[in-house]
Amino acid sequence: MGLFSGLARVIRPCGVAAKSLEYSAFSGILRVQDLGVGRMHAVFVTGGKQYRVKEGDTLKVEKLDAAEGATIDFEQVLLVHNGDDIQVGAPYVDGGKISAKVRSHGRGKKVHIIKFKRRKHYMRQAGHRQSYTELEISAIQPGSAS
């Protein structure tokens, strides 16, 4: 097996900054991405989905009932990773909290739904646009050591 035999390969050299070397066999694109060693990462739950974030990240989550510019705290933190210190919750990290600022509310791209049966004079069309809230992660508070 060669270096680029799979869809993606991760290389972590010994040193300060770890890099992710990713190669797509379909498009032939080689991409090097900084993994951000030394920065605090966390995994939290909102809207039935899990998100991996670090401070300063911007992400879109299921629509939340909050005004633009408001600060929201998420206390359902599953994991906090800070260098060599990893806190895994059972199911949540005690005292772990993620603070985020609501940047905007919006609706995603339209998804087209088509039901069709040939030769039966049957066709139904519908569309759907999912509402979302765009957040900016402002702080990650690790839980208490246990």
How much is the pLDDT for 85? 87
Asked if residues 77 and 93 have their Cβ atoms less than 8 Å apart, the reply is yes
Top pLDDT among 13 and 89 is at 89
Q: What are 50-109's pLDDT values in tens digits?
A: 999 999 999 999 999 999 999 999 999 999 998 888 899 888 999 999 999 999 999 999
What is the rounded average pLDDT of the residues 119-138?
97
Q: How many Cα atoms within 13 Å fall on the side-chain side of residue 56? A: 3
Q: In 3D, which of 14, 15, 134, 3 has the Cα closest to residue 69?
A: 134
Domains of the chain: which residue ranges? 1-37, 38-141
Tell me the backbone φ, ψ of residue 37, rounded to 5 degrees. -65, 140
Reported as half-sphere exposure (CB side, CA atoms, 13 A), residue 52 has a value of 4
**pLDDT-derived band at 122, boundaries 50, 70, 90:** very high
Residue scoring higher pLDDT (35 or 116) = 116
Dump the DSSP string for 114-132: EEEETTTTEEEEEEE--EE
Residue range 16-34, pLDDT digits in tens: 444 444 545 555 555 544 5
Burial of 4 (0-12, 13-18, 19+ CB in 10 A): middle
Contact indicator for 59, 133 with CB cutoff of 8 Å: no
Give the model's pLDDT for residue 16.
42
- Whether the pLDDT of residue 1 is over 70: the answer is no
What pLDDT does 36 receive? 53
